[in-house]
Structure 1
Amino acid sequence: MFFNNASGFEEGYAKKDNLEIYYRDYGPVGGIPVLLVMGLGGQLTFWPPYMIKRLQDSGYRPIAYDNRDMGLSTRFESNPTFLSNYLKYYLNIPIKSEYKLDDMANDAVMLLDYLRIDKCHVIGMSMGGMISQILVANHPDRFHSYTQIASMVSTPNPSNGPSFRVIRLLQERAFKNATKEERIDRAVRLVSTIGMKGYNYNTKEFRNEVGQSIDRSKDDTGFIRQMAAILGTRDRIKKVSNIKIPTLIIHGDIDPLVKPKNAFHSHKLISNSELLMVENMGHLIEEPVFNKFKEELIQHLDTNC
């Protein structure tokens, strides 16, 4: 199982003004909270169950949530196009977006306030790592530690961003009129390209999990708006260089979406950071990949409570 369809959790909406953020609190109540911030186009169910269980077994209380425009959280209405945004991306032309990564970071703070959590650990994956950088830089007093997985500091550009093949696969997700089966097929193609080498995603179990994810949230238009937020947000280099809380940077040595050199850049900017490069890890956390860094992750959390 790659997607998390576990039971025995509490879930609901954190609400402020016209914004609703859907969250899932895995507990236990007495555990030390760990906020999980998912990446581009990912629902809270994308956090793998073996990672959730290991955190719980180690005395932690994982809390995942749907970023705005994804899953069951509030949807926005602008209609940017993939091609126009990526043309601007290649030409270094500023990109307008309905919201920025800073707004998404504020959503996380709102969730913590709603749950009355004064201080926690935060783990950010890909775009979630970008959001978490802003979180820990702006609110260092609210976080014990930061773990960055498969993320970057700079705004993506042709030199540090995804390969052309990956961009073509991302473009497929922008097609709005795909059937459920077509969406499952393209998900298999994408994860097979960006994941670890030799891992078989084209299985009945995985296809069923993707189908359940689609059923949970049929509207996929938020993917393009989230991408616009990434491309439309300025580099966080100065902000990230001010991060002082203990940081663990985890990155795959074959990541085709966020190139490995981005991990070294983050490590150079964050003075209080450790870098863990994971062999044969792409841009995902398959169970064999998680097994390669789970001990270092728990040690990082334990050391900085």
Structure 2
Amino acid sequence: MPTITANGVELFYEEQGNANDEPILLVMGLGAQMILWPDEFVEALKGHGYRVIRYDNRDIGLSQKFEGAKAPGIKTQILRKLIGFPAKVPYTLADMAGDGAGLLDALRIERAHVVGASMGGMIAQLMAINHADKLHSLTSIMSTTGHRKLPQADKPAMDALVAPLPSMKEGDLIAHGIKVQQAIGSPGFPADPERRRQRVSTLVRRSVYPAGLPRQLAAIIDDGDRRERLKSVTTPTLVLHGEADPLVKLEGGKDTAAHIPGAKLVTLPGWGHDLPPELIDRLAQEIAAHAKGATQDNSVAA
């Protein structure tokens, strides 16, 4: 699996499926490696006739790291944002959207269906805002508009996500990862403990880079409220959200759909902030149906 220079950044990516099929670009979330898109999910999208591309965002996984770049403290950054003096950040969420668009350019893909989860949904939204010509369709999963008055994450979920690592020993890292997955997972679809341990172990052995998370979080805070910008989106949009999401509450998905003209909202009971095996076929089906409809609409419009 290769790296490629996109938007001036070295990105690690993988593509599967027939090169002649329409591409789907998968964008993962905060501090999350591309393999958190389950292989079964990729296979399901391939089964619907799509070429599937997933990649590590900058500062995570096997993509380029921004060593030495300092992120502002979260409380300081939020305070400065509120009084109109944004703190300087190493890079912006718009830069990360530029990475996604740049990856498509580097792969010589004119347009793709872009699917983002959590922070990846925010990045995908910004691709639709800033790089609309690159998108056939947009799917925003378990994401939000950045409106600060929306309900905040449940404290145990947020605390688990931003908790410092206990050590860099493999066993401690795996235990920490399991705690995070337990805190944000789907109450209606409890994970098999052995499968969860295997997945977390794979993530830990692939890459551990805690320094990237605060820089990515700083980019999220810096981007702020996207509601007015989302009103300009003309890309056909699907919003998928779990009704039991403890990290990005359901209201975030509803607000996203409410501010993108013509967006379709699909919510599922029992679904938290993960991609449980029981929902993979349903989610892939929703995305594939949306992508197919968007392509047909674009063809008619052309």
TM over 0.5: yes
Q: Could you tell me how far 1:166 is from its partner in structure 2? A: 1.6
Alpha-carbon offset, residue 228 of structure 1: 1.1
Does residue 205 (structure 1) correspond to residue 201 (structure 2)? The answer is no
The alpha-carbon distance between structure 1 residues 265 and 205, as it changes in their structure 2 partners (threshold 3 A), is closer
Closer, same or farther: CA 17–136 of 1 in aligned 2, 3 Å: closer
* Stretch moving more, 54-63 or 203-212: 203-212
Q: Which residue of 2 aligns with 1:148?
A: 140
Distance 1:286 1:90 in 2: 36
Deviations 1:47-89 (A, max 9, x none): 01221111111110010000000111110122447xx314653
Letter of the 2:118 counterpart: S
Amino acid aligned to 1:175: L
Q: Which residue of the other structure, out of 231, 253, 261, is the alignment partner of 1:241?
A: 231
SS in 2 for 1:128: helix
Query: Partner letter of residue 167 of structure 2?
Result: N
Letter in 2 for 1:190: V
TM-score (norm 2): 0.89
Give ranges in structure 1 of 5+ residues lacking alignment. 1-10
- 2:221 is the counterpart of 1:218: no
Instruction: State the partner residue of 2:160.
Output: 169
Which deviations, in whole Å up to 9, do the C-alpha atoms of 1:107-134 show, x marking residues without a partner? 1111111100001100010101101111
**Aligned-pair CA distance for 1:218:** 2.7
* Partner Cα distance (1:105, 1:154) in 2: 15
Secondary structure of the structure 1 residue equivalent to 2:125 = helix
The residue number in structure 1 matching 2:255 is 265
Q: Does 1:112 align with 2:104?
A: yes
Q: CA deviation at 1:102?
A: 0.4
1:75 is matched with which residue: 59, 65, 84?
65
Match of 2:78 among 51, 68, 89: 89
User: Percent of aligned pairs with the same residue?
Assistant: 32
Aligned counterparts of 2:214 and 2:166: Cα–Cα separation in 1: 10
Moved over 6 A (4+): none
Change (3 A) 1:182 1:300: same
In angstroms, what is the RMSD of aligned CA positions?
2.1
- In 2, the alpha carbon distance for the partners of 1:122 and 1:74 equals 22
Pairing partner for 2:286 from 270, 289, 296: 296
Match of 1:7 in 2: none
Quickly say closer, same or farther: Cα 1:198–1:187, change in 2 above 3 A.
farther
Contact 1:253 1:278 in 2 (8 A): yes
Letter in 1 for 2:253: A
> Does structure 2 conserve the Cα–Cα contact (< 8 Å) formed by 1:31 and 1:56?
no
CA distance in 2, matches of 1:202, 1:89: 37
Q: Secondary structure at the match of 2:2?
A: strand
Instruction: Report the TM-score when normalising by structure 1.
Output: 0.88
Range moving further from structure 2, 201-210 or 241-250: 201-210
**Structure 2 gaps, min length 5:** 296-302
Given the alignment of the two structures, is residue 131 of structure 1 paired with residue 123 of structure 2, yes or no?
A: yes
Provide the secondary structure at the position in 1 that maps to 2:127. helix
Distance (whole Å) between structure 2 residues aligned to residue 273 and residue 16 of structure 1: 29
Shift of 1:198: 5.1
Aligned residues: 291
Instruction: Quote the offset at 1:215 in angstroms.
Output: 1.7
Residue 271 of structure 1: how far off its partner (Å) = 1.1
Deviations 1:189-246 (Å, cap 9, x if unpaired)? Answer: 1211211115444623322321221121132221111111111223222211101111
